[in-house]
Amino acid sequence: MLGAGHVGPVIARVAIAAGFHVTIAASGSPERIALIAQVLVPGAEPRWAADAVDDSDIVVLAIPLHKFATFDADLVADKLVVDAMNYWPPVDGVQEMFEDRQYSSSEIVQRRLARSTIVKTLNHIGYHDLEDWRRPAGSPARRALGVAGDDPGAVEAVAEVIDQVGYDTVRLDSLRAGRLLEPGGPVFGASLRRADFELAVRARAA
Ligand SMILES: NC(=O)c1ccc[n+]([C@@H]2O[C@H](COP(=O)([O-])OP(=O)(O)OC[C@H]3O[C@@H](n4cnc5c(N)ncnc54)[C@H](OP(=O)(O)O)[C@@H]3O)[C@@H](O)[C@H]2O)c1
């Protein structure tokens, strides 16, 4: 988990609850996030970012996009990277890199992290809700999360993790389609079961 702010620790916590081994890092030393890890994410190992990434199968990137321009792309080269980030100018300020609205923010993230495989998910649910809305597979009240990517194998791998965490998944077959998960899109901040989620994204995509 790269990012130990609002959403990073919650994603880490639900991943640990689902049985995954999680390391967590922010922009500085592990000592700086030791208390956050201990209190908010018991069981997660605080590390330097490079060490956290090194032995990870999946890296979740949950840093503000106004910090992305200085993020070291080599750090996550050859990794499967979950992009949980949103471009939100009121919070991020105007970031030239993300202003070209013909591209989804994840396409821009992918272009810059050219040696990584990007999958977009977890960005469209608030950090409080992520923990509350988990349900076991088969529960009638189970909500869905969108999982978007250009690489079907990577989408599949991430969708399996999301399922284990406690959500149905609706797969979108490109990072371009991941635009449907962005702020202003039909499912951003929504709490939808799979059928309604599918309807919402298909209606907008049509
Ligand atoms: N808040 C939500 O409910 C929510 C839900 C889903 C998605 N998101 C998205 O997730 C992203 C993060 O949001 P947030 O609210 O969690 O932000 P935040 O509270 O500002 O936390 C940002 C975290 O990123 C770390 N960071 C910054 N640069 C880094 C780097 N180069 N390497 C590793 N860590 C770095 C910061 O560490 P330092 O303090 O050490 O710099 C901090 O721990 C945003 O794009 C947001 O849109 C948010």
Tell me the sheet residues that pair with 168. Answer: 144
Q: How far is the CA of 172 from the centre of ligand 1 (A)?
A: 24
Banded model confidence at residue 81, pLDDT cuts 50, 70, 90: very high
What residue ranges do the domains of the chain occupy? 7-205
**pLDDT value at 206 more than 90:** no
Across all residues in the chain, what is the average pLDDT? Answer: 97
* DSSP codes, 146-195: EEEES-HHHHHHHHHHHHHHT-EEEEESSTTGGGGGSTTSTTTT----HH
Say if strands 144-149 and 117-120 run parallel, antiparallel, or are unpaired.
antiparallel
Radius of gyration of the chain (CA): 16
What is the per-residue pLDDT across 39-53, written as a single tens digit (0 to 9) for each?
999 999 999 999 999
- For residue 28, the ligand 1 atom closest to its alpha carbon is 40
Mutate to test the pocket of ligand 1, among 6, 36, 91 (most ligand atoms within 8 A of CB): 6
8 close to ligand 1 (CB < 6 Angstrom): yes
Which token pair is 177? 């389609």
Hey, what CATH class is 7-205 in?
Answer: alpha beta
**pLDDT value at 55 more than 90:** no
Region 126-137: mean pLDDT is: 96
**pLDDT value at 99 more than 80:** yes
Tell me which H or E stretch contains 119: strand 117-120
Structure confidence at residue 161 (pLDDT): 98
Identity of residue 197 = F
Structure confidence at residue 76 (pLDDT): 98
